[in-house]
A and B are shown apart, each in its own frame.
Chain A
């Protein structure tokens, strides 16, 4: 792959989601220009470190709801959620961050992996309300200023996917693993640490190569 192909548009959301998000962003005062695509917007907004939270819901919570504040990819957001709303579903359905995938929905496949306060977890096994005040990083938050994260770049270069459905979860796990000094650097340790992310296409060989290659890239950068 050439450098020119490395854009952040890999996870382009649907037109519907863009329209919804455009409405929301316009409502709380984000610039119209920034709302062209979600994948372009969020990292930019993260960099701005908004002082005021984006208010998704202005009204007081209804019966059976709670008001929570989530900082998602650097953007503080306030919204009302049902007490039984799952974090994964809130991100996908309320905040239109559909990069995080729903696979098994029972903590068995790892497709929904994201970072909460820097720690990788299965977002299908959390209710949103328990994360009130937490900082969440999803796949949409990895690229910075239009430049892919080294792990994203490595997955691209190593063709570390076929259908791509598990890819965002694989990448989020890889990002966490590469930052964790308690996890070994050898191939066996990486395979073990990544075993919570199932790939039905069986792209494991290339995923391993991508993770190890990203390790090298990150060492050179940092």
Chain B
């Protein structure tokens, strides 16, 4: 493994001065993505700024009903926190559907948001990959592209899926990402945090150089709603999603008063299906209705030779989740 300098940050402000969200000076939290990719020499770091001693490990309810999560809260701590289990069950379910026990113990909230794609051509360090080597091409297009390659939000430059489960739940819930930069703090709406690959797939997020995520604040839970995270994958545990859905839905007098739908495993970023949400508004739940919503959510999909199955699978993971939340009797 390449050598690098090591600095331990004593404050967020100091960390922001020394480290960066991209390039050769990087922040170290759990390390489950970073050290993996440094070993593969995919991330060519020169300095690691260790932020693990910063006081960013709290989960705090705010007076306006939101929940503020320190960036260093582990995936395990977040998934099992009583307030998360009670107010955001889909977030707890999404976290526990990701990775393994020991990885969740190590991985952090901010690190999960910042995790890199699982595309083999990105990770192998050799193949054409515009993310790793801008302008080199995309070996996944026309290559093997079954499991971790997207059908929504793709471009001619990159088709890798965003691998996080947690982020799909957060996309449905809504959140603000608070970042510390050299000139102070700012908030980025979660929906704007991850970028589509477009013509610059090496730009993955809205952070400026030297900005450090300090907190993620979840929107207040939707009163009277029900929610769930559903993940479909090649094996029952410890596997990335082929398709997943995070659904929050509130019924009023038998009609859908509000719906928030997000998809994972099928898109290049945590994917909010806003058109399908609008379509459901005011309508009575039924399988036929949900099938139409699923079709809407996957409309515009661009598939490869290997991942066309994700279009019906994406529909189904949404339909099944909506069905189980609103039509229990019918599905029994």
A interface with B by C-beta (< 8 Å): 64, 66, 82-84, 86, 105-107, 110, 113, 119-122, 124-127, 129-130, 173, 176-177, 182-183, 191-197
Known: A83-B6, A120-B101, A195-B236. 17 other contacts (CB 8 A): A66-B6, A83-B4, A86-B35, A106-B36, A113-B102, A121-B105, A122-B102, A122-B103, A125-B36, A126-B35, A127-B35, A173-B102, A177-B101, A192-B237, A196-B99, A196-B103, A196-B238
Residues of A within 8 A of B102 (CB): 110, 113, 120-122, 173, 176, 196
Residue of B nearest to A104 (CB): B36
A138–B105 Cα distance when bound, in Å, is 17
Residues of A within 8 A of B3 (CB): 64, 82-84
Residue of B nearest to A105 (CB): B39
User: Is residue B286 contacting chain A, with contact meaning CB distance below 8 A?
Assistant: no
User: Is residue B14 contacting chain A, with contact meaning CB distance below 8 A?
Assistant: no
Closest CB-CB distance, A116 to chain B, in whole Å? 9
Please tell me which one of the listed residues B2, B31, B100 contacts residue A127 in the complex, with CB atoms under 8 A apart: B31
Contact size class for B? 20 to 34
Residues of B within 8 A of A113 (CB): 102
Instruction: Say yes or no: A182 contacts B80, CB within 8 Å.
Output: yes
Residue of A nearest to B37 (CB): A106
Which 6 A-B residue pairings sit nearest by Cβ, starting from the closest? A196-B100, A83-B6, A195-B237, A195-B238, A182-B80, A121-B106
Q: Which of B1-57 contact A (CB under 8 A)?
A: 1-6, 28, 30-32, 35-36, 38-40, 48, 50, 52
Instruction: Say yes or no: A126 contacts B31, CB within 8 Å.
Output: yes
Q: Could you tell me the dominant secondary structure of chain A's interface residues?
A: mixed
A82–B6 Cα distance when bound, in Å, is 10
Residues of B within 8 A of A124 (CB): 35
Residues of B within 8 A of A121 (CB): 102, 105-106
Provide 17 A-B residue pairs closer than 8 Å at the C-beta atoms, listed in order of the A residue: A66-B6, A83-B5, A106-B39, A106-B40, A107-B103, A121-B102, A125-B30, A125-B36, A127-B48, A130-B31, A130-B52, A176-B101, A182-B76, A183-B101, A192-B237, A195-B236, A195-B237
A111–B123 Cα distance when bound, in Å, is 22
Instruction: Say yes or no: A107 contacts B32, CB within 8 Å.
Output: yes
Binary flags per residue of B48-73, CB closer than 8 Å to A gives 1, else 0: 10101000000000000000000000
Residues of A within 8 A of B5 (CB): 83
A172–B39 Cα distance when bound, in Å, is 24
Closest CB-CB distance, A96 to chain B, in whole Å? 21
Known: A196-B101, A196-B102. A83 touches B48 (CB 8 A): yes
